Amino acid sequence: MINESRRGFMGKAFGAVAAVGAVGSLVAMKRSWDPLPSVMAAGFTTVDMSKLEENKLEIVKWQGKPIFLLKFAADMPAVEKRSVKVGEHYYSVMIGLCTHLGCIPAYSSANKQFKCACHGGEFNAAGIHTFGPPPRPLDIPPFAIKDENTIVLGESSPEYEALIASLSTDNNIA
């Protein structure tokens, strides 16, 4: 009887050690699905802001998403906690996906507003929702201001952190 249980013990011990190896190889398998270094490196998009024209929407692609870049004209007041100052000008830097169900809103320079064709949501030039189903303003991607004409999307910065922090406090109040 003792013999029986000892035999059972050795079998279980062997099984346990084998299981450790199996788990180890699962880690390698999991890691092989992680985005490749080249994908991660491509997660940054450098934008030359000097090419933007006032009140005309520019769309660049960052991590597969459309990013709205809008240079404010003199008659467009900067919006606190939304607008980004690069060099002398204010800009909207936003992920161009409607916060309702992810369609891409279109910009009308005449009305200075975004309109989403899917369910009629509307946002102003700063990306704040003004009408329809969108639950919150357009999201802001991580960005870093490099110099008076250049920002890098995908890289965090104190300016970005400050914007996000103020947004979350606003949401709490709402």
Which residues contact another protein by CB under 8 A?
3, 6-7, 10-11, 13-14, 17-18, 20-21, 24, 28-29, 31-34, 36-38
Give the residue among 68, 91, 78 at the shortest CA–CA distance from 138. Answer: 68
In what order do the strands lie in the sheet containing 57-62? 57-62, 65-71, 89-95, 84-86
CB of 30 to another protein, least distance (A): 9
Nearer to another protein, 3 or 172 (CB): 3
Q: What is the DSSP string of 4-26?
A: HHHHHHHHHHHHHHHHHHHHHHH
Nearer to another protein, 35 or 102 (CB): 35
CA–CA dist 96, 118 (Å, integer): 14
CB of 155 to another protein, least distance (A): 14
CB of 42 to another protein, least distance (A): 12
Look up residue 25 and give its amino acid: S
Nearer to another protein, 22 or 74 (CB): 22
CB of 26 to another protein, least distance (A): 11
CB of 8 to another protein, least distance (A): 9
Cβ atoms of 33 and 27 within 8 Å: the answer is: no
CA–CA dist 23, 75 (Å, integer): 62
Nearer to another protein, 27 or 174 (CB): 27
Tell how strand 113-115 and strand 106-108 pair up: antiparallel
Look up residue 55 and give its amino acid: N
Nearer to another protein, 3 or 168 (CB): 3
As beta bridge partners, residue 57 has 70
